[in-house]
């Protein structure tokens, strides 16, 4: 394959991976604090519709991005109130969040179907951007792509090197110990959950503002769930998560290109199954493999905690 | 607000009360600790000791009462505030993070960030000064229980505490490790640090402490100089009634072998669990066999392997009355007559949210005929539950009450009773009297003895060495998953058992090395 | 020093009060209606009128009630199966996919016999429908029991696959040759359709099956050792193992049962109201049934009520769309809100709120460390 073809393919891989990366990175932090938020899909899609609505109404991509993040944050706050303050079952609440989010998004988005919006501006450096392969690969993106990569670096540093990151890991490792030493478990988890919501919202915003600059009902198409699987795949490590997200971006694009190339006689629907089947395969390999990756799984993941006073 | 007085106690509590649902855990408690004093809080399980120290450390808040620090009234909002005053605490259940390093664990216990390298150096310095060797870079889950406790202590010492609270520190240590800990504590007291030492072990308190406050049922019942008391007089203050001694039977070591364990090896299930390695022993009809050991050395794993909750590699590793059952699950073993009482009551031996009648169905549906085809005979279950309640004096409004509504001791009596009344051939019991009051403990011990007299083989797993010495005929010690040879209890000395409990003289590193050796020999063969 | 001013104290209850357990769903419904009132007001509708058309109008005719059962039947069937799984902490989230596969399997049978149906066709379709759902649920069951793969993610991923599979079929091999190229199968023959049990309505025999399944589910959960095993595994896995109950077997049982019931529900849809295979068979019944299960307190008889209530939310959504012009998406919002309120009100069941700390006088004091 010549460079001229390779570059656009890789570009689309990056685009397909970015929403997954945002959502999964947020969820990674949430899970490291010991909380399992299955509502990623709901937060993503509400983020997508709010970002689109804000951008289409104001004409500002930046406002769109902020609206997407704020919407994800808002839903995450609801999740936090239920699971952290009211100690509700995290699995059930996450599912409720997704059902609610899907309903809310189609309600909010009813007036925006079929409306165009200007895609986010791309970083374009004359001369450099035109270099073969590396030019478009390194420079042809919008701000969200760079933000997602910066977020990987930031989260990796935060968890490994910073003191708040260490406290967050401790809270996810043993809520009871953290509480008895004097850390406010609930407050730490609230912050993590809100961060996760904002990140999911950004993932949604990228979908509706950049990946396919439009609004369509159910446009997340299970990406929230795939992002959840990615966190397991990455065994809660940010850099491995980056690799996982780009791998899945690759799978998505591969099936799109195969469909475009006449699908080798395979019905397009069968090709569309690939990302979902790949997710199942990856989860199985991770669970069955000798490494298991469990050493890194937060010990308190999904357990409700209520301090006694 | 008053000015701190030089001769005021370091800490003074007056009128501290704390209520939990259904229980008054602390009832108007008064006591004081002087600077440099080693002060014991003595009481049975459930007397309110842990609640009281959690209040002092700011983990819990009192419903009423006052704390004074160097004469000055203080309100301790949280552990940060306690540490700021100069209060350090070593928890009974360690507040450690298994998947993190020693250094991270220490750092989390400090209130401000400190440079990694400087902190590591300080950890080494303090641990050397007080004879508490630690490697800051190790992950906690690789450490022995004794080493983990050192982390807790070092974490406190780094903040130069004026008052150090030790909550049941020796329950997880070998006798040799206990001696070493006492040296450290005496050194600290000599430097002026007050120590609040919580225990229910009388000899320890007599050996270590200057004063003792004795709690019973949430109240202060006595204050004394423990060195001027005997263990017996302390125990009477603690328990409040005349002590009963268990009726010892003749050692039943002559019956036929009912339970035979031969070369039982089971890999750990939990991530940081203990592997059982080549365990062999047998228990005869009429015999009470004890398994001693420091907590976390494979007792839980052994109980699971005996009860059938974990399966052995081969059928022949475990025989009940000669029948090889190593590959059969708990239900099938129970059918053959092996009943078990696990250490954890809530969620293991009983389902908290279910009624007593339902909890009977849990383990007795086969032996007591509580099913007709797939349907549960609810009436029969309730009747059997009623029998247990009556025979073992379980305090409950009725068999329709949930297991969660029973106090720990009552639930323990119910579970032990449920297994005993199923007329087992082999009974395996873990921590039979944990959390029950002295009267009930005596009753349970008597029931176990009677069971043995009837020809049942009884296995008792306990961390309480005194209990084992009192009720068993033979005993063996488990250490990092390896069981020692069995010895006749009458002939065993505390020193000998203590050495076995500590593996190679209580040094975890040596024990681990010895374990690795055994491991290779087991698996090569 | 004053005792800390604990204006509102939260204490865990030792015993769950039964009355409160069954009263909180009503509280949740009331809060949802209230939230709906505010939502409609904010959206610029007359809230009284909108709520009337949403919740009351569908119930003013016999046809409305029959539709309630038509839509309630799949929700009850699936909800009962899911509830039994949830009781065991087995989270089958892919009922929608199992429903689809049941519809496909049953539909294929109907089409295979097309034009030459016999009295056996419909029973055979039911068997195929159940088998389709069972087989599809067997995948997450196998992956969970054999490799420990989380069933939430696998069952959900398979839902997307099932939808795509159905669409492959109706766009391809099963497309009606005389259907003007519409993506749908032939209409099933009369003998391959569920009998209507009330003239002039769409009420079919499947509704009766759904009610019977709920009753059977209640008997299973409350009176048999099977239901006991399921409940113990969910509440205390260690106790289940201690009792000698095999967790993998219970997981298999729960997933296959809920998959089979979802498959049957799917078959009832295509052999009932729809009458053929189309690209979209259910308006999200498989997901709504999750709410049905929780709202019915995971109790099979409660699920009859909650299933009918959620059916009302579908019908009410349609009625309100026609009469008031409310967007259909309001249904999803209502369903999500209802589950939120239910989970929130659960707090009242598990915890007791006290205004002031109780005075410290009771002399009987035991274990509390």
Provide, for chain C, the percentages of residues in helix, strand and coil under a 3-state DSSP scheme, each rounded to the nearest 5: 70, 5, 30
Contact flag C290-A225 (C-beta cutoff 8 Å): no
**pLDDT value of position C106:** 95
Backbone angles phi, psi at A214, to 5 degrees: -170, 170
Q: Which residues face B477 on adjacent strands?
A: B292
Tokens describing residue B294 = 């420091």
Ranges assigned E (strand) in B133-249: 163-167, 194-199, 211-216, 219-224
C8-44 pLDDT, tens digit each = 667 777 677 778 888 888 999 999 999 989 988 888 8
Q: Does B66 touch chain C (CB under 8 A)?
A: yes
- State the CB neighbour count (10 A cutoff) for residue C187: 16
Residues of A in contact with C149 (CB under 8 A): 280, 283-284, 287-288
State whether residue A227 sits within 8 Å of chain C by CB. Answer: no
pLDDT value of position C5: 42
**Res C109 pLDDT > 50:** yes
**Alpha-carbon distance values, B287 to B415, B462, B488, C187 (Å):** 21, 16, 11, 77
Q: Do C344 and A87 make contact, defined as CB atoms within 8 angstroms?
A: no
Range with the lowest mean pLDDT among A28-37, B89-98, C132-141? B89-98
Residue-wise pLDDT for A197-233, tens only, equals: 999 999 999 999 998 888 998 899 889 999 999 998 8
Tell me which residues of chain B, numbers 173 to 232, contact chain C at a CB-CB cutoff of 8 Å. 217-219
pLDDT-derived band at B415, boundaries 50, 70, 90: very high
Q: Is residue C190 exposed (0-12), middle (13-18) or buried (19+ Cβ within 10 Å)?
A: exposed
Q: Taking each helix axis as running N to C, give the angle between helix C247-269 and helix C121-142, from 0 to 180 degrees, rounded to the nearest 10.
A: 140
> Do A169 and B97 lie within an 8 Å CB cutoff?
yes
| Contact flag B79-A181 (C-beta cutoff 8 Å) | yes
With an 8 Å Cβ cutoff, are B100 and A182 in contact? no
Cβ pair A108, A49 in contact under 8 A: yes
Q: From CA B475, how far away is CA B137, in angstroms rounded?
A: 38
With CA atoms as reference, the chain A residue closest to B21 would be A308
Nearest CA in chain C to B73: C1
* DSSP assigned state of B138: S
Please check whether residue A36 touches C, CB under 8 A: no
B79 and A182 within 8 Å at the Cβ level: the answer is yes
- Cβ distance B96 to A177 less than 8 Å, yes or no, reads yes
Give pLDDT tens digits for B274-301. Answer: 889 999 999 999 999 999 887 778 888 9
How many whole angstroms separate alpha carbon B228 and alpha carbon B234? Answer: 10
Tell me, what's the pLDDT at A165? Answer: 95
pLDDT at C68 over 90: yes
Q: How many CB pairs under 8 A join A and C?
A: 142
Look at C168 and A87 and tell me if their CB atoms are within 8 Å.
Answer: no
- Residues in chain B with CB shorter than 8 Å from the CB of A299 are 98-99
More confident residue, A10 or C30: C30
List of chain B residues whose C-beta atoms are within 8 Å of the C-beta of residue A170 = 97, 100, 104, 108
Residues in A touching B116 (Cβ below 8 Å): none
pLDDT at B505: 34
Pairing of strands B338-341, B426-430: parallel
Q: Cβ–Cβ of C366/B217 closer than 8 Å?
A: yes
pLDDT at B498 over 90: no
| pLDDT, average across residues C157-186 | 89
Question: Which residues of chain B have a CB within 8 Å of the CB of A169?
Answer: 97, 100
**What's the whole-number average pLDDT of chain A?**
87
Chain segment B17-34, per-residue pLDDT in tens: 998 766 788 999 999 999
Pairwise CA distance, residues C337 & C86, whole Å: 20
**Measured between alpha carbons, how far is A9 from B1 in angstroms, rounded to an integer?**
74
Chain A hits for C100, CB-CB cut-off 8 Å, are: none
Contact across the interface for B109 and A181, Cβ inside 8 Å: yes
> pLDDT value at position C8?
61
A98-120 confidence digits (pLDDT tens): 989 998 998 899 888 888 887 78
**What's residue B520's pLDDT?**
39
Q: For residue C242, give how far its alpha carbon lies from the nearest alpha carbon of chain B (Å).
A: 6
Q: Please, which pLDDT band fits residue B479 given cuts at 50, 70 and 90?
A: confident
Measure CA of the first residue to CA of the last residue in chain B; give whole Å.
Answer: 73
Q: Which residues does B contribute to its contact with A (CB < 8 Å)?
A: 58-61, 78-80, 82-83, 91, 93-100, 104, 107-109, 113, 271
**Distances, alpha carbon A124 to alpha carbons A16, A59, A141, B263, in Å:** 20, 20, 8, 71
Q: How far apart are CA C259 and CA C262, in angstroms?
A: 5
User: Does B329 sit within 8 Å of C244, measured CB to CB?
Assistant: yes
Q: Which of A162, A165, A168, A181 to mutate to test the interface with B (most CBs of B within 10 A)?
A: A181
Kindly state the percentage of chain C with pLDDT values over 70.
93
Spatial CA neighbour of A40 closest among A234, A228, A256: A228
Q: From the list B46, B63, B73, which residue is nearest C357 (CB)?
A: B63
**Beta strands of B226-287 (E only): which ranges?**
257-266, 276-284
- The set of chains that have 3 or more CB pairs under 8 A with C is A, B
Measure CB to CB from residue A170 to each of B59, B80, B97 and give the nearest one. B97
Q: How many residues does chain A have?
A: 309
Looking at chain B, which subunits does it touch, using at least 3 CB pairs closer than 8 Å as the criterion? Answer: A, C
CA distance B59 to B80: 10
List the single range of A301-305, B101-105, B167-171, C47-51 with lowest mean pLDDT.
Answer: B167-171
pLDDT band at B143 (very low <50, low <70, confident <90, very high): confident
Q: How far is CA B273 from CA B266, B267, B317, C19, in A?
A: 11, 9, 21, 43
Is the per-residue pLDDT at B6 higher than 80? no
Chain B 306-335, residues with CB within 8 Å of chain C CB atoms: 307-309, 329-334
Smallest Cβ–Cβ distance between C362 and the set B24, B307, B378 belongs to B24
Q: Does A2 touch chain B (CB under 8 A)?
A: no
Chain B residues within 8 A of A180 when measuring between CB atoms: 59, 79, 91, 95
> What local confidence, expressed as pLDDT, does residue C229 receive?
97
Cα–chain center distance at C44: 32
Q: pLDDT value at position A69?
A: 97
Closest partner residue to C329 (CB to CB) among A96, A106, A222 is A106
- Rounded-to-integer distance, Cα A34 and Cα A173, Å: 7
Q: What is the mean pLDDT of chain C?
A: 88
Q: Which of A166, A181, A296 sits opposite B104 (nearest CB)?
A: A166
CB C345 within 8 A of CB C28: yes
The answer to whether A96 faces chain C, any CB pair under 8 Å, is yes
Mean predicted confidence (pLDDT) in C115-137: 93
Contact C346 A88 (CB under 8 A): yes
* pLDDT, tens digit (0-9, with 9 covering 90-100), for B182-226: 998 999 999 999 999 988 777 788 889 999 999 888 899 989 999
Whether residue A240 is predicted with pLDDT greater than 50 in this model: the reply is: yes
- Give yes or no for residue B436 having a pLDDT over 60: yes
Average pLDDT over residues C104-126: 91
Both tokens of C155, joined, read: 């069952």
Which letter, b or e, does each residue of B265-280 get, where b requires 16 or more Cβ atoms within 10 Å of its Cβ? bbeeeeeebbbbbbbe
Q: What is the DSSP letter of A122?
A: B
Q: Check if B342 contacts C (Cβ < 8 Å).
A: yes
% of chain A surpassing 90 pLDDT: 51
Nearest CA in chain A to B100: A170
Q: Does position B519 have pLDDT exceeding 70, yes or no?
A: no
Q: Give B350's DSSP letter.
A: B
Residue C230 is predicted with a pLDDT of 97
Residues of C in contact with B340 (CB under 8 A): 242
Distance CA B231, CA B392 (A): 29
Residue B98: CB atoms within 10 Å? 18
Q: Are A106 and C331 a contacting pair at CB < 8 A?
A: no
C91, C146, C332 member nearest A91 (Cβ):
C91
Section B431-458 average pLDDT: 85
Average pLDDT, chain B: 84
Per DSSP, the three-state class of B17 is: strand
């Amino acid at each position: 394959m010549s460079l001229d073809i390779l570059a656009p393919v890789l570009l689309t891989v990056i685009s397909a991976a970015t929403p997954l990366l945002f959502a999964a990175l947020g969820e990674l932090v949430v899970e490291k604090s010991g909380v399992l938020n299955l509502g990623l899909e709901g937060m993503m899609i509400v983020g997508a519709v709010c970002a689109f609505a804000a951008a289409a109404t104001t004409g500002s991509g930046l406002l769109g991005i902020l609206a997407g993040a704020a919407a994800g944050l808002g839903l995450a706050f609801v999740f936090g109130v239920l699971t952290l303050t009211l100690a509700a079952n995290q699995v059930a609440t996450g599912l409720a969040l997704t059902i609610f989010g899907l309903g809310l998004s189609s309600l909010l988005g009813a007036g925006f179907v079929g409306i165009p919006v200007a895609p986010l501006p791309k970083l374009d450096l004359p001369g450099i951007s035109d270099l073969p392969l590396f030019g478009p690969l390194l420079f042809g993106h919008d701000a969200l792509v760079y933000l997602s990569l910066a977020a990987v670096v930031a989260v990796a540093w935060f968890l490994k090197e910073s003191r708040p990151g260490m406290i967050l890991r401790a809270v996810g490792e043993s809520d009871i110990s953290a509480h008895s030493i004097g850390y406010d478990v609930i407050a730490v988890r609230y912050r993590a959950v809100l961060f996760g919501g904002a990140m999911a919202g950004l993932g949604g915003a990228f979908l509706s503002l950049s990946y396919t600059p439009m609004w369509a009902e159910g446009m997340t198409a299970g990406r929230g769930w795939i992002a959840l699987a990615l966190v397991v795949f990455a065994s809660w490590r940010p850099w491995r998560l980056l690799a996982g997200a780009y791998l899945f971006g690759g799978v998505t694009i591969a099936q799109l290109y195969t469909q475009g190339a006449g699908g080798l006689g395979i019905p397009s629907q069968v090709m569309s199954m690939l990302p979902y089947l790949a997710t199942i395969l990856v989860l199985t390999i991770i669970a069955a493999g000798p490494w298991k990756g469990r050493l890194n799984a937060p010990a308190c993941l999904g357990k409700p905690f209520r301090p006694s006073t | 607000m008053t000015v701190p007085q030089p001769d005021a106690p370091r800490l003074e509590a007056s009128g501290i009360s704390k209520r939990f649902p259904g229980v008054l855990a602390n009832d108007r408690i008064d006591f004081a600790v002087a600077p440099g004093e080693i002060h014991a809080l003595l009481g049975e399980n459930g007397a309110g000791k842990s609640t009281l120290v959690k209040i002092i450390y700011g983990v819990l808040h009192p419903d009423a009462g006052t704390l004074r620090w160097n004469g000055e009234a203080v309100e301790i909002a949280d552990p940060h505030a306690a540490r700021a005053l100069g209060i350090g605490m070593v928890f009974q259940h360690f507040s450690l993070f298994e998947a993190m390093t020693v250094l991270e664990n220490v750092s989390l216990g400090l209130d401000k960030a400190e440079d990694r390298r400087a902190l590591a150096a300080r950890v080494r310095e303090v641990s050397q000064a007080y004879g508490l060797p630690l490697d800051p870079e190790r992950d906690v889950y690789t450490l022995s229980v004794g080493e983990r406790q050192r982390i807790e202590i070092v974490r406190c010492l780094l903040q130069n505490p004026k008052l150090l609270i030790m909550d049941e520190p020796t329950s997880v240590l070998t006798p040799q490790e206990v001696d070493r800990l006492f040296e450290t504590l005496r050194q600290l007291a000599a430097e002026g640090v007050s120590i609040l030492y919580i225990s229910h072990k009388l000899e320890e308190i007599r050996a270590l402490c200057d004063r003792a406050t004795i709690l019973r049922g949430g109240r202060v019942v006595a204050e004394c100089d423990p060195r001027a008391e005997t263990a017996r007089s302390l125990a009477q203050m603690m328990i409040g009634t005349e002590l009963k001694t268990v009726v010892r039977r003749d050692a039943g070591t002559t019956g036929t072998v009912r339970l035979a364990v031969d070369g039982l090896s089971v890999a750990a299930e939990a991530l940081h669990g203990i592997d059982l390695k080549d365990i062999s022993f047998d228990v005869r009809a009429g015999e009470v066999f004890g398994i001693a050991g420091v907590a976390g050395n494979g007792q839980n794993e052994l109980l699971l392997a005996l009860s059938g909750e974990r399966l052995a590699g081969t059928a022949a590793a475990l025989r009940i009355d000669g029948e090889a059952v190593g590959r059969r699950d708990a239900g099938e073993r129970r059918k053959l007559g092996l009943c078990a009482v696990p250490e954890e009551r809530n969620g293991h031996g009983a389902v908290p949210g279910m009624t007593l009648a339902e909890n009977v169905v849990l383990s007795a549906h086969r032996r007591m005929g509580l099913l007709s085809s797939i349907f549960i005979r609810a009436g029969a279950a309730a009747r059997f539950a009623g029998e247990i309640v009556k025979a073992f004096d379980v305090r409950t409004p009725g068999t329709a009450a949930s297991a969660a509504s029973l106090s720990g001791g009552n639930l323990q009596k119910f579970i032990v009773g449920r297994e005993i009344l199923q007329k087992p051939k082999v009974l395996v019991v873990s921590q039979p009297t944990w959390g029950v009051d002295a009267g009930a403990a005596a009753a349970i011990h008597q029931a176990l003895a009677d069971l043995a007299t009837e020809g049942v083989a009884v296995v008792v797993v306990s961390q309480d060495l005194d209990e084992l010495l009192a009720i068993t005929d033979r005993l063996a010690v488990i250490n990092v998953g390896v069981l020692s040879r069995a010895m006749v209890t009458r002939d065993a000395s505390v020193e000998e058992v203590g050495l076995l409990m500590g593996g190679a003289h209580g040094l975890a590193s040596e024990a681990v090395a010895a374990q690795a050796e055994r491991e290779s020999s087991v698996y090569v063969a | 020093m004053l005792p800390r001013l604990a204006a509102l104290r939260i204490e865990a209850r030792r015993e769950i009060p039964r009355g409160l357990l069954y009263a909180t769903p009503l509280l949740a419904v009331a809060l949802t209606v209230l939230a709906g009132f505010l939502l409609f007001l904010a959206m610029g509708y007359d809230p009284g009128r909108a709520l009337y058309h949403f919740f009351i109008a569908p119930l003013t005719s016999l046809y409305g009630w029959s539709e309630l059962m038509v839509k309630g039947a799949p929700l009850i069937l699936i909800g009962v199966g899911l509830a039994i799984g949830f009781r065991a902490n087995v989270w089958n989230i892919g009922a929608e996919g199992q429903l689809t596969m049941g519809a496909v399997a049953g539909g294929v049978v109907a089409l295979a016999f097309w034009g030459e149906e016999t009295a056996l066709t419909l029973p055979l379709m039911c068997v195929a429908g159940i088998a389709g759902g069972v087989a599809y649920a067997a995948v997450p069951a196998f992956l969970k029991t054999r490799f420990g793969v989380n069933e939430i993610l696998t069952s959900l991923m398979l839902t997307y696959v099932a939808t795509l599979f159905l669409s492959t079929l109706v766009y391809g091999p099963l497309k009606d040759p005389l259907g003007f190229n519409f993506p749908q199968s032939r209409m099933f023959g009369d003998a391959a359709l569920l009998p209507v049990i009330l003239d002039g309505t769409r009420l079919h025999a499947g509704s009766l099956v759904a009610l019977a399944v709920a009753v059977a589910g209640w008997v299973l959960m409350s009176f048999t050792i099977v239901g006991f095993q399921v409940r113990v595994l969910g509440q205390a896995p260690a106790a289940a193992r201690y009792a000698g109950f095999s967790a993998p077997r219970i997981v298999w049982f729960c997933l296959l049962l809920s998959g089979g019931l979802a498959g049957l529900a799917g078959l009832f849809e295509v052999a009932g109201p729809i009458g053929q295979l189309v690209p979209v068979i259910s308006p999200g019944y498989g997901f709504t049934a999750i709410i049905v299960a929780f709202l019915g307190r995971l109790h099979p008889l409660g699920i009859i009520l909650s299933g009918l209530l959620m059916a009302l939310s579908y019908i009410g959504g349609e009625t309100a769309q026609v009469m008031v012009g409310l967007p259909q998406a309001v249904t999803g919002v209502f369903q999500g809100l209802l589950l939120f309120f239910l989970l929130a009100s659960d707090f009242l069941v598990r915890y007791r709120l006290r205004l002031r700390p109780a005075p410290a006088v009771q002399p009987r004091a035991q274990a509390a460390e």
